[in-house]
């Protein structure tokens, strides 16, 4: 099983690094990105994917927003799709806590399907979504996630001035991860801005991701 913890020493299984040394970050908090192989089995991924497409076939349109164009989402997909999540979440929780320790508590999950011309603009996750694990459930595996190595305590979203002022700084020093189906990347999403560039694919292609979120407790 391949697992790669990326902090300051740039060990790189499934990881590439862009820009200057992470020592440029403005806080002692390390980015601590973790690549986790086989978070979900292919059967578990397939089960979610089939049920999700069944829901779409039945006319469900999903939630859309301008921030993440050409995508639709589903809150707490296991509950929404009628899949028992207890054992799956316990397994994932245990693996993530090996790295982030016990001062995090699992919150919820979120599914999003990205289509042609989707883009995930540079952003931080909101407070309370302190650690996020992004897992590829199905579709293409060639759309990388980029995670800045530059720490921030600001909320970064499409409209924030902080984003407009500092986007180049965040993008200048970042790590890039590809996640094959069932694999995922965890990061401190509230403190390290992350993004995906424009996704180009055929109209019948897509990327299906589930984000699992934890909050830090003191
Ligand atoms: Fe995010």
pLDDT single digits (tens) 23-50: 333 344 667 889 999 999 999 999 999 9
Task: Indicate the number of domains in the chain.
Answer: 1
Separation between Cα atoms, residue 209 and residue 212, nearest integer Å: 10
- In the reported structure, the alpha carbon of residue 132 is separated from the centroid of ligand 1 by a whole-number distance in angstroms of 7
29 φ, ψ to 5°? -70, 125
Torsional sign, CA 24, 123, 198, 36: positive
Distance from residue 73's CA to the centre of ligand 1 (Å)? 13
* CATH code, 15: 2.60.120.620
Among candidate residues 58, 49, 41, the one with its CA nearest the CA of residue 92: 41
Q: Give pTM, 2 decimals.
A: 0.85
Give tens-digit pLDDT for 91-141.
999 999 999 887 999 999 999 999 999 888 899 999 999 999 999 999 999
Neighbours of ion ligand 1 (CB under 5 A): 125, 189
120 CA to centre of ligand 1 in angstroms: 8
CA angle 208, 124, 121 (to 5 degrees): 55
Q: Which domain holds residue 41?
A: 3-216
197 CA to middle of ligand 1, Å? 13
Distance CA 177, CA 35 (A): 8
Output the CA 144–ligand 1 centroid distance in Å.
Answer: 13
199 neighbors 117 (Cβ within 8 angstroms): yes
Residue 213 in this model has a pLDDT that exceeds 70: yes
């Amino acid at each position: 099983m391949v697992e790669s913890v990326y902090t300051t020493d740039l060990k790189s299984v499934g990881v590439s690094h862009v820009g200057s040394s992470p020592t440029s970050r403005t806080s002692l908090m390390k980015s601590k990105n973790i690549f986790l192989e086989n978070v979900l089995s292919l059967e578990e991924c397939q089960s979610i994917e089939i049920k999700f497409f069944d829901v779409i076939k039945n006319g469900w349109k999903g939630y859309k927003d301008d921030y993440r164009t050409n995508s639709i989402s589903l809150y707490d997909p296991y509950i929404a799709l009628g899949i028992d999540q207890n054992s799956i979440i316990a397994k994932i929780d245990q693996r993530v806590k090996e790295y982030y320790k016990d001062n995090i508590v699992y919150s919820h999950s979120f599914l999003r399907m990205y289509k042609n011309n989707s883009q995930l603009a540079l952003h931080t996750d909101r407070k309370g979504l302190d650690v996020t694990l992004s897992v590829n459930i199905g579709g293409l595996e060639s759309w990388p996630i980029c995670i800045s190595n530059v720490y921030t305590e600001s909320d970064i979203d499409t409209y924030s001035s902080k984003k407009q002022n500092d986007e180049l700084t965040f993008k200048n020093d970042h790590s890039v991860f590809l996640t094959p189906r069932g694999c995922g990347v965890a990061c401190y999403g509230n403190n390290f801005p992350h993004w995906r560039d424009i996704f180009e694919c055929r109209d019948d292609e897509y990327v299906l991701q589930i984000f699992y979120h934890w909050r830090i407790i003191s």
